[in-house]
Amino acid sequence: MTKSNKIPILLLHGSLGAGTQFSALVAQLEAHYDVHLLNFSGHGEMPFSDNGFNIQVFAAEVLEYLENRQLDFIHIFGYSMGGYVAMYLARHYPEKIGKVMTLGTKYNWNEATAGKEVKRLNPELIEEKVPAFARLLQDRHAANDWKEVVIRTAQLIEDLGHQSLLKHQDYAQIPSPCMLMMGDRDNMVSFQETIEVYNALPEAQLTVLPDTAHPLEKADVPLLAYYIKRFTTQKMES
């Protein structure tokens, strides 16, 4: 089977992340899929966009990626913020999106939840308290100032806290089959918010990964790949 005959799937990274985090997952999927990766602007080697640093801009970058590669249809796996971008695309551009799989995606954004996360996104505190993470971010975003990435991410989350882009009625209008995955030890994403979105979606499955915290690096990659393959190949019941 040639690569062009395989099912296309796009992997979207989370906030402060980059496509390089998916190397182990790509190795599990590439025999079965035409795997695509992209870095949102301001992440990895991609420069910041003049259009801004937000979910709408990142979604537009996905659409541009698909157009440039003449991909009319694609499945998406989105981790954390990448899952939110995937849901935004499924809501507003359903004709482009196949099945959507998310892991560790936070859906309930308000001033309180955003404020909690913004407090953690202080580059000086990160450098002082978790220097290993600061070095990781510096390496991951070598083409940019990692501190600027953190500051802009904090602003993005604060903006979501003031105005969530996806409300209950938006999820109810998403036609794409969706699988919401979360770790049972995720201290950022609650079961309640995940189940509320699961119940709102017309076609959805809910998967809880055992002994799994929020960071992507904590996920059991072969198990994650199994669920992705299982979901993309199964027929959904009406």
For the beta carbon of residue 229, count every other beta carbon within 10 angstroms.
Answer: 17
| CA distance readout (Å), 29 to 9, 20, 59, 104, 230 | 9, 15, 23, 19, 12
- Level-2 CATH architecture, domain 3-107+166-233: 3-Layer(aba) Sandwich (3.40)
Residue 120: its H or E element = helix 111-120
Percent of the chain with pLDDT over 90: 95
Confidence of residue 4 (pLDDT cuts 50, 70, 90): low
Q: Is beta strand 74-79 parallel, antiparallel or unpaired with respect to 7-12?
A: parallel
**Average pLDDT, integer, range 49-67:** 98
Given a cut of 70, whether residue 179 has pLDDT beyond it is yes
% of the chain at pLDDT higher than 70: 97
Encode pLDDT of 114-145 as tens digits: 999 999 999 999 999 999 999 999 999 998 99
What would the two tokens of residue 111 be? 């001033």
pLDDT of residue 235: 77
Amino acid at site 206: L
Q: Which residue in 114, 113, 100, 83 sits closest to 14, CA to CA? A: 83
Query: What pLDDT sits at residue 228?
Result: 98
Of 112, 110, 52, 61, nearest to 82 by C-alpha is 61
What pLDDT score was predicted for residue 238? 44
Enter the pTM of the model: 0.95
For residue 50, give Cα distances in angstroms to 7, 46, 58, 86, 160: 33, 12, 12, 22, 20
Amino acid at 39: N
- For residue 83, the model assigns a pLDDT of 98
| Section 190-219 average pLDDT | 97
